[in-house]
Amino acid sequence: MTFSIIIPTLNEAESIQTCLQALQPLRTHCEIIIADGGSTDNTQSLAMPLADKVIPSPQGRARQMNIGAEQASGDILVFLHADTYLPDNALILIQQQLAASNKQWGRFDIQLNSPHLLLKIVAQLMNWRSRLTGIATGDQVIFVKRACFFDIDRYPNIALMEDIALSKRLKKISPPLCLKAKVTSSARRWLHNGIVKTILLMWLLRLRYYLGADPLELAQLYREGKFWKI
């Protein structure tokens, strides 16, 4: 079983080298693919020595991950955000647990890189909610068998909530494998915009998405971080 780690990027020069350096020990077992959405900084040049492929793509996380997947050769696709870090033995865990469970996809538990108590609670609630609903977020690092990914026609090409939409498609094939091992994701957005404000924003964005709101409009609100416009 082989792996492809696909990382969508857009102006990640500040963090991309740290992200990719953490993955270097895995390159004997997998390929690392950067799908860059038109960075105007030096993300691409910084990534090239540390990745197997750096692929230009139209902007949009769903499009970028789909384009990366199209050029991936691995049996298992791992979709990783540039500010998220895998646990030790991540690929071994995925391989062993997928084989033992006969499931087609899954995700990790998450922790945020902040000692703030409220953010620890937020991460735990994210993990519980995911187990209850069978829906994974991109921050939890979704992995999926390549054949299954293309059978369900990849990520829907929407501006936001692509991880929820993908999870809904994948749930029709099998429930997710929810690994207890934790990925570590950046808390920068939570801390920059305010923890309570970000919680309210994400809840309301999800609610509006479930009620049929246009993901393009939701993406604009997400970028602005303005839940009072919702």
**Domain residue ranges of the chain, discontinuous segments joined by +:** 3-188, 194-230
Provide the pLDDT for residue 194.
85
The Cα-based distances of 153 to 135, 161, 181, 196 in angstroms read 17, 16, 28, 36
Question: What percentage of the chain's residues is helix, strand, coil (to nearest 5)?
Answer: 50, 20, 30
Instruction: Read off the pLDDT of residues 156-208 as tens digits, 9 standing for 90 and up.
Output: 999 999 999 999 999 999 999 999 999 999 988 888 778 888 888 888 888 88
17-37 exposure pattern, b = at least 16 Cβ within 10 A, e = fewer: eebbeebeebeeebbbbbbbb
Q: Give the whole-angstrom CA distance, residue 195 versus residue 185.
A: 15
- Assign a CATH topology to domain 3-188: Spore Coat Polysaccharide Biosynthesis Protein SpsA; Chain A (3.90.550)
Provide the pLDDT for residue 229.
52
pTM: predicted TM-score of the whole model, two decimal places: 0.94
What average pLDDT does the segment 12-31 reach?
A: 95
